[in-house]
Homo-oligomer: A and B are copies of this chain.
Amino acid sequence: MATGRTHRPATRSRGIPEATVARLPLYLRALTALSERSVPTVSSEELAAAAGVNSAKLRKDFSYLGSYGTRGVGYDVEYLVYQISRELGLTQDWPVVIVGIGNLGAALANYGGFASRGFRVAALIDADPAMAGKPVAGIPVQHADELERIIQDNGVSIGVIATPAGAAQAVCDRLVGAGVTSILNFAPTVLTVPDGVDVRKVDLSIELQILAFHEQRKAGEEAHADGAGPAAARRTGTGSDASADQGPDGDVPAVMPA
């Protein structure tokens, strides 16, 4: 591997850690709230509290973006909103298709958070002919036969899969075949995609299972105070550091090393 260099601090290095990227939307949301209240500047301490992280982490995160703060003062809210938006690519419009308009798909279509942040639901797609034409969230559902055409006509590069598990891989293949390169998967199944395609998954039952694990552990501790342990501290929260993800890492995208 190419180690070495380090002789290039480059303030605007394009190497933003994945963990930092995952927190940027959190900061952005907190900043947007401040912006709406016309707060002009904010310190790392205040913003960190609003975003639910600690201030050292936040400052370190921001340091990867550049030096956007003012020592002794803090950060300019509007300016930071812009910088983070730009970094995340939200200054452009992302057309998105949602495939599988069941309960979940409909919930997603109605979810306000999309439109408000650079995303636009370009189409709703379902395999059930009975759904065709039916409006959901004001958008008529289109039949799956149209999938490729819709994606190409709208220049869609992000697809959301909200189908049953059994249909997910086939839908995924078609999306990728039509040019989609980023997929958000709600189906409880592992998707296989070619190199260059990102998959993120959201799995409700997995989240619950993780909670159950911790819950079980709490019950165990009160039943039997552990041996010579320092502090009778109870379990502590696991924070909500988006960690249990299937980010663009691990083995999920493709099976080839670069």
Contacts and interface: CB of A to CB of B under 8 A. Distances in A.
Most buried by B among A30, A119, A153: A119
A257 B79 contact: yes
Interface in A222-258: 226, 229-254, 256-258
Interface string A58-89: 00000000100000000000110011000111
A217 B21 CA distance: 12
Contact of A232 (B179, B239, B245): B179
A251 B230 CA distance: 30
Contact of A236 (B5, B188, B206): B5
A204 interface: yes
A257 B82 contact: yes
Interface residues of A, number: 131
Contacts of A30: 190
Most buried by B among A1, A118, A218, A257: A257
A196 B3 contact: no
Contacts of A180: 233
Nearest to A6: B236
A25 to B, nearest CB: 4
A178 B232 CA distance: 8
A196 B236 contact: yes
A117 B205 contact: yes
A37 interface: no
Given A3-B237, A196-B237, 14 more contacts: A5-B245, A7-B236, A14-B247, A22-B206, A52-B251, A89-B216, A94-B212, A102-B110, A103-B107, A104-B111, A199-B238, A202-B204, A238-B258, A240-B253
